[in-house]
């Protein structure tokens, strides 16, 4: 496949878009941009510095910068409180997956920080800078509607709540975390509700998106193969 395009993949919590996006990026040899990981990192850094969503300022955000090295997402962060009280000025650099961004607490927190308009603008601006050329799979909740509406192929992943909760419950069990199916369904629905009803950039089905239902009626490989076929067909028509 010669020509490189941009593919966006949006959807609610636990629909499987992370797994699907990773597989598609690997198959196409494209860079995957996980915008959710950026929101999770912002929430993790701000919360651990006692900055609540409503207190976030542009000044706080100007010290958070994302960049990729060898397909891994990094963040540089300068902690202003430390500057003030301990006279420390160093900028810290973290590989984001080494931070506790995927805990249950941060999963809930991240969707609270993600309703804040200046946080959304900060993430969107940085992603646009990173994506100044083709060859990206951009995963998120406003990827095809706000960040990159000009993407040549847009997908919206959906999945029934009971199937999502069953899969999530299995992940939790493997990590030794015990919840009931109902608790997991409520947690996913609560996050979806916040993401779909926020004022800025709510989760919607992007215009012209292919809707993919990621239920148990097909294997993951089959589903990804069908999505790759759509992408290849689109590239052949360019």
Residue 6 contacts residue 148 (beta carbons within 8 Å) = yes
Largest CA distance in the chain: 59
Residue 236 contacts residue 5 (beta carbons within 8 Å) = no
**Least distance from ligand DC to the Cβ atom of residue 10, Å:** 7
Reading across the β-sheet that carries 210-213, which strands appear in turn?
31-34, 136-140, 6-11, 153-158, 210-213
CA end-to-end distance (rounded Å), the chain = 12
Nearer to ligand DC, 1 or 154 (CB): 154
Q: Rule CB under 6 A: say whether 140 interacts with ligand DC.
A: yes
Q: Rule CB under 6 A: say whether 214 interacts with ligand DC.
A: no
Nearer to ligand DC, 120 or 236 (CB): 120
Q: Out of 30, 191, 209, 224, name the contact with ligand DC by CB under 6 A.
A: 191
Q: Out of 24, 30, 33, 39, name the contact with ligand DC by CB under 6 A.
A: 39
Q: Rule CB under 6 A: say whether 142 interacts with ligand DC.
A: yes
Of the candidates 93, 92, 113, the residue with the CA atom closest to the CA atom of residue 36: 113
Nearer to ligand DC, 157 or 231 (CB): 157
Q: Out of 6, 41, 110, 126, name the contact with ligand DC by CB under 6 A.
A: 110
Nearer to ligand DC, 36 or 79 (CB): 36
Q: Rule CB under 6 A: say whether 126 interacts with ligand DC.
A: no
Please compute Rg for the chain using Cα positions.
18
Residue 37 contacts residue 64 (beta carbons within 8 Å) = no
Q: Rule CB under 6 A: say whether 156 interacts with ligand DC.
A: no
Residues in binding contact with ligand DC, number by CB under 6 A: 14
For 132, which DSSP code?
S
106 Cβ contact partners less than 8 Å away, ≥ 6 residues apart: 40, 43, 44, 47, 100
From the list 73-81, 107-115, 128-136, 164-172, the region that binds ligand DC by CB under 6 A is 107-115
Residues that bind ligand DC (CB under 6 A): 13, 35-36, 39-40, 110-111, 114, 140-143, 191, 195
């Amino acid at each position: 496949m010669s020509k490189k395009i941009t593919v966006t993949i949006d959807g609610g919590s636990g629909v499987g878009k992370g797994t699907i996006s990773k597989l598609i990026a690997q198959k196409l040899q494209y860079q995957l941009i996980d915008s959710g990981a950026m929101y999770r990192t912002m929430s993790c850094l701000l919360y651990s510095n006692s900055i609540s969503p409503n207190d976030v300022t542009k000044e706080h955000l100007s010290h958070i910068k994302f960049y990729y090295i060898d397909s891994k997402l990094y963040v540089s962060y300068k902690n202003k409180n430390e500057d003030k009280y301990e006279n420390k000025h160093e900028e810290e650099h973290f590989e984001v997956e080494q931070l506790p961004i995927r805990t249950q607490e941060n999963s809930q927190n991240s969707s609270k920080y993600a309703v804040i308009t200046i946080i959304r603008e900060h993430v969107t601006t940085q992603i646009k800078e990173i994506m100044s050329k083709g060859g990206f799979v951009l995963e998120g909740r406003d990827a095809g509607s706000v960040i990159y509406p000009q993407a040549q192929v847009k997908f919206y992943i959906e999945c029934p709540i009971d199937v999502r909760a069953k899969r999530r419950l299995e992940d939790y069990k493997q990590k030794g975390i015990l919840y009931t199916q109902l608790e997991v369904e409520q947690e996913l629905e609560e996050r979806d509700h916040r993401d779909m009803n926020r004022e800025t950039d709510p989760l919607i089905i992007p215009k012209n998106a292919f809707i993919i239902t990621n239920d148990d009626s097909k294997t993951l490989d089959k589903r990804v193969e069908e999505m790759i076929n759509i992408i290849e067909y689109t590239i052949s028509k360019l």
